[in-house]
Structure 1
């Protein structure tokens, strides 16, 4: 049987094909790739949803042209963003991007209705101004009143294709609306946000058959016979499934636009220590919890590259960074000012000026600054992770597109003083495919799937090379962060 992973990130999407018989070798084939991004329309940042639908259809046409007449398809995307659908099944405008500034002051406003500590205790979700709960808190109430359904992006795509509406749990858990203990909608949070639970389609576990595509809705497309499966639709959840961890003493960084650092645990943790460190509890596959920290990630370097009109590739930027002196400035990569600045280069430089530090100016200096501070941030959060979970982590898996960055991988191993195993790059697509195969009885457990991954993909080991220079940099970074009282 043939399987297609539709994997859509903030900057691009693709359709990746695998045949179950050849999955033992993981001979994945990219069939279609397309650009994605939000656009400013009259001061608001929107996703082009119709473009996502059309690109997936174009990809499925290519699937059939390759001689694949029948396949399963799973969709994963980023979390928190949603579309509103009315009673006549019309989308009430393009979904707004989580990077839009409408939630800029929402934490303070929300806290007047419910304490942020109580919100965390109830949901276990880290405080990010773009969480769905906060987006809904500031949503246009007239528009919200016209809505019959609220669907997260991958569920909205599934609904368009099949006519079946569900709310997949791994993505739903990012919304900050589910109770951490009951795994159901929290009525107190919904009341503060101003929505009824009836607006959400039924919650469903990853690995459920959603339905066949509605061929009559897309008569212009020559499509194969497609059955959609609701996978772990939050891309990080799929990436964690595709992480070849073994035992319990490992952590992961899903490295892409965001760096998601965490561990898999059986039950959520919503202690004061977890709240103070701003860790999150998101649902995983087969009853697991992804206890993790959102770190700004490759977004920083992506924006630096964009500000230079992509004159340099990411590989070239890393090469230039490797020639620069280490640890020349400290920045808090998670500062909200870096979420969606007008110009990332100027924002980084202004941050350094404000904190009386030498500002990076050349492409190599900018890249060095970003990579150094990402690695330092990883060290702090890995330490927090061990303290909060009580685990002794001996291996760090870096998966996703960022696992290609050998400079940052080795720097992370050195600064965190831990063995780093990099790969697979296609962890999200592999995780998407694995859930499809589990759903169709190819595998029984995550452990079996991960064993096959370990035996099937090339992984690169980075051994730590700790030094006095690194030790001093860590001390300096921690003092800087504590002095600035930054999260």
Structure 2
């Protein structure tokens, strides 16, 4: 993506899109990180000329480097089964209560902490001299400069959100060497310049600085929320739904831990207080399953039929870890309905409606819980990311939350990436609130008001209570 930033304007353009196909080999699911890097190089070539570059990606995964800076094998995918049982093993060394008090991070079985526990004793980890999170690895290949960007580091379950630094207590308890991580850097810090070989490969004319952006894609997405005031909740939608509030300090109570909220770090000293929800992955996996069975579905038709399906008939817990792995999602949804006493959907439209109703309910519960736990009230919900294209999901979220939903931008991560670069280079000025005002005036947005057309407030309340008592 390229961004053009000027006085009161931010424009975004897609210049190159490339596939991201994980590969299973030797029983382990890997990222094809070399193919991703080639896609980055191709994208830089297509984007020429550029004044600055920044890299954001998903969280928790990493590559290991040897003493010469060479990559020790393809990074393992967070959906791989190697972390099964690791949380229990780590809890023998540090209790969940202690771990949350130090890091404030939601329990997720694939957090970097558990991946490193799973890797203990392997030849790769024994040979490793350094660990780079995925965006830092790509940035290193572009510049030759190593660093650990803070927003992504905060997802490792090794960072204390109060000090905004690594926690020696957690690392010692979990037997993890913090020396594996290069020094921390903040969003907006310089991260080097494109290497001569990269300039030659891409046809760019140097020097081209690389800026450390908010390299966790959700951190970039939240930075691009076009809110008018601070009284907002956000939902970053896509494969995952990340729903919560932007705070100035973490919430580390045990009640917050039991509610499975996370305290990840954002730009300008903020905390992203949120709950991870399985997201549109549920629908994506249904579509993949039906296609593999010879029953491909047209998404536009499916969503139209889902909108006409009875509301709130079948709902599931969209945070259930049983939905994490790839595979037959309709079967798992049917099993979940049976376990909780809900009717099993009868056709693809029913499954789609089940997924979207369930996501809207999960959004409602997350927004309600975040306000209660953080003692903070909101007046509106902002939906950003790919889910803004799903009008039914946006409307259901407004109905479920009983709050207006502002949808947009869809490419929030790319916009957040661009505005952090622009601010670092002086093209944009001010704090994140000033940046958001520019975005609000520059972007097309759509607002959904609670309508009652897809279930009355009482029906949504009953469905939410059903989930609370069954999960």
Give yes or no for contact 2:244–2:272 (8 Å, CA) kept in 1: yes
Match of 2:438 in 1: 452
CA–CA separation in structure 1 for the residues paired with 2:85 and 2:467:
22
CA–CA separation in structure 2 for the residues paired with 1:218 and 1:165:
19
Normalised by the length of structure 2, the TM-score is 0.95
Deviates more, 1:328-337 or 1:99-108: 99-108
RMSD: 1.8
Listed one character per residue, the Cα deviations across residues 250-276 of structure 1 (whole Å, up to 9, x for unaligned) are: 110011111111111111110122111
CA–CA separation in structure 1 for the residues paired with 2:463 and 2:84:
27
- How much does 1:192 deviate? 3.1
Normalised by the length of structure 1, the TM-score is 0.92
CA–CA separation in structure 2 for the residues paired with 1:471 and 1:455:
33
Deviates more, 1:24-33 or 1:317-326: 24-33
Asked whether 1:48 is paired with 2:63, we answer no
Match of 1:166 in 2: 147
CA–CA separation in structure 1 for the residues paired with 2:83 and 2:183:
27
- How much does 1:35 deviate? 1.1
Asked whether 1:254 is paired with 2:236, we answer yes
2:163 corresponds to which of 171, 177, 182: 182
- How much does 1:220 deviate? 4.6
Match of 1:385 in 2: 370
2:273 corresponds to which of 262, 284, 291: 291
Give yes or no for contact 2:59–2:133 (8 Å, CA) kept in 1: yes
Listed one character per residue, the Cα deviations across residues 432-482 of structure 1 (whole Å, up to 9, x for unaligned) are: 000001100122221111111111111111111248944443444344334
CA–CA separation in structure 2 for the residues paired with 1:474 and 1:254:
22
3-state SS of the aligned residue for 2:52?
strand
Match of 1:348 in 2: 333
3-state SS of the aligned residue for 1:247?
coil
1:13-92 correspondence to structure 2 within 5 Å: 16-21=1-6, 24-64=8-48, 68=49, 70-92=50-72
3-state SS of the aligned residue for 2:97?
helix
Match of 1:117 in 2: 97
1:427-442 correspondence to structure 2 within 5 Å: 427-442=412-427
1:279 corresponds to which of 255, 261, 264: 261
1:267 corresponds to which of 219, 244, 249: 249
The total of aligned residue pairs comes to 465
CA–CA separation in structure 1 for the residues paired with 2:454 and 2:309:
18
CA–CA separation in structure 2 for the residues paired with 1:483 and 1:18:
46
**Unpaired runs of at least 5, structure 1:** 1-15
Match of 1:152 in 2: 133
3-state SS of the aligned residue for 2:154?
helix
Match of 2:114 in 1: 134
**Unpaired runs of at least 5, structure 2:** none
Q: Structure 1's 364 and 219: CA in aligned 2 closer, same or farther, altered over 3 A?
A: same
Match of 1:4 in 2: none
CA–CA separation in structure 2 for the residues paired with 1:303 and 1:371:
14
Deviates more, 1:466-475 or 1:322-331: 466-475
- How much does 1:208 deviate? 1.1
3-state SS of the aligned residue for 1:32?
coil
CA–CA separation in structure 2 for the residues paired with 1:393 and 1:369:
27
CA–CA separation in structure 2 for the residues paired with 1:432 and 1:365:
37
Q: Structure 1's 369 and 448: CA in aligned 2 closer, same or farther, altered over 3 A?
A: same
Deviates more, 1:180-189 or 1:379-388: 180-189
Give yes or no for contact 1:262–1:290 (8 Å, CA) kept in 2: yes
Give yes or no for contact 2:63–2:132 (8 Å, CA) kept in 1: yes
Asked whether 1:477 is paired with 2:463, we answer yes
Match of 2:186 in 1: 205
- How much does 1:342 deviate? 1.9
Listed one character per residue, the Cα deviations across residues 324-377 of structure 1 (whole Å, up to 9, x for unaligned) are: 111111211111110014211111112223334321242211100000111111
Give yes or no for contact 1:328–1:369 (8 Å, CA) kept in 2: yes
Deviates more, 1:103-112 or 1:83-92: 103-112
CA–CA separation in structure 1 for the residues paired with 2:306 and 2:114:
37
3-state SS of the aligned residue for 2:159?
coil
Give yes or no for contact 1:158–1:164 (8 Å, CA) kept in 2: yes
- How much does 1:223 deviate? 3.2
- How much does 1:196 deviate? 1.3
Match of 1:330 in 2: 315
